[in-house]
Amino acid sequence: MARGDWSFLHEWVIYDYLMNRYDEGTLRIKCRIMDGILLRREKWYKVEELQPITSSDFPDIKLIQLKGINKTMPAEIKFTTSLFGYHKGQHYKDSFDKFIQKKGFILVVNHDYIPKGLENKISVFELDKPDFISFCRENFTRLLNRQIKMHSETKVWIMYQGPNFSEMADNIKSGRESKIWCPTENLTSFDLATGDRILFVKTKGASTQNVQRNYLDGKILSAWRFSEMWIGEITSTINSRREYCQIKKFPYSTQLWKNDPKKNNSWRWNRVFSFKKIKAIKIDLSMNELYKNKQTKDFVEAVVEAFCYNKSREIPLEQYRNVLEYIT
């Protein structure tokens, strides 16, 4: 790859990186140009809020907030600053004017130069380039497969139910009743798409600490039991919570789940997708038994990740079929 040449990648790779680091709480970006003025000294900002991308419409990021800047802004993702062109032509005139009014900025991997006509009008921020390169290297196989296949096949995801899935509060429905959920990490529409299967699993008889400790020692607790697999089908892309509320025409202040903490006017669970019920399988099986079975061992390992580390885990279709065959 030539120095500064990022053309072999799609912009969703940047988005993957942004959401991954944002969910980890480590995302920061560097200001190169502020309101058209080139900064001579590096100035880094931690990203405090980032609204997920739900479409390719300009601007890519509808809302981002940086620590130390007391307002939210939109941002457009480009590999280099010179690729920005939304200030040209009449088609984007209104959206570009709004972008400038809201102090929108260009977010790039590498700043080269501001296109003609944007001088003294816009700010430019750069990613943490060494960290972005490391992310691409660490996830090379996944990124390459996605670029080739672009989610052409149905995927199956495991998520642990948790209290919000089954418990209600006042007039707040549980997840299994409302058919809405929040992904627990950096899942995007490239990962979780309409038509995919989602397995909400439930276990009993053991704490996350005990399961994790024993699993790291190469065994699964005999007291840990598999009690339910609630199977759903994804019926919407992932929306930001604010956009979901706008679509449903109710206030952003609406609480969506029983355990739904709010801090500084921002909800902890800030992304939403919808699903429909396929079937719910009640069961009482030893996880240790499933772990020892060659046909279902990989499934148990996926459940461990979902249960202990609060992660969504993709499993192969064959593994999904194996589990269904074993438990039904």
Judge whether 21 and 131 are in contact, CB under 8 Å.
yes
- State how far the Cα of 232 lies from the Cα of 260, in Å rounded to an integer: 22
pLDDT tops 50 at residue 5 = no
pLDDT category of residue 171 using cuts at 50, 70 and 90: confident
Per-residue pLDDT of 10-24, as tens digits, reads 567 888 889 888 888
pLDDT surpassing 60 at residue 2: no
Mean pLDDT score of the chain: 85
> CA-CA distances (angstroms) from residue 88 to 81, 106, 118, 291?
15, 15, 10, 59
pLDDT digits (tens, 9 = 90+) for 74-107: 999 998 888 888 888 777 888 999 999 999 999 9
Instruction: Name the strand (E) or helix (H) holding 38.
Output: strand 37-50
Are the C-beta atoms of residues 46 and 120 closer than 8 Å to each other? no
Residue 107's closest CA among 143, 69, 61? 61
Cis peptide before 261 (omega within 30 of 0): no
Higher confidence at residue 114 or residue 47?
47
CA-based nearest residue to 239, from 223, 252, 220, 222: 252
pLDDT in tens, 130-163: 999 888 887 776 666 555 554 556 789 999 998 9
- Tell me the one-letter amino acid at 168: M
Q: Where do the CATH 3.10.590.10 domains begin and end in the chain? A: 153-327
**Phi-psi category of residue 264: left, alpha or beta, with phi > 0 → left and psi -120 to 50 → alpha:** left
Look at residue 108 and tell me whether its pLDDT is greater than 60.
yes
121 strand-pairing partners: none
> What's residue 4's pLDDT?
42
Domain 153-327: which CATH number of 3.40.50.150, 3.20.190.10, 3.10.590.10, 3.40.228.10: 3.10.590.10
Query: Rounded to whole angstroms, how far apart are CA atoms 14 and 173?
Result: 35
Confidence of residue 54 (pLDDT cuts 50, 70, 90): low
Contact 20, 194 (CB under 8 A): no
First to last CA, the chain: 51
Report the DSSP pairing between strands 262-263 and 197-204. unpaired
Position 152 scores a pLDDT of 54
- Do 111 and 81 touch, CB atoms closer than 8 A? yes
The reported pLDDT for the residue numbered 257 is 94
Band of pLDDT at residue 170, cut at 50, 70 and 90: confident
Higher pLDDT, 148 or 256: 256
Instruction: Extract the tokens encoding 278.
Output: 């396929």
Instruction: Tell me the three state secondary structure of residue 149.
Output: helix
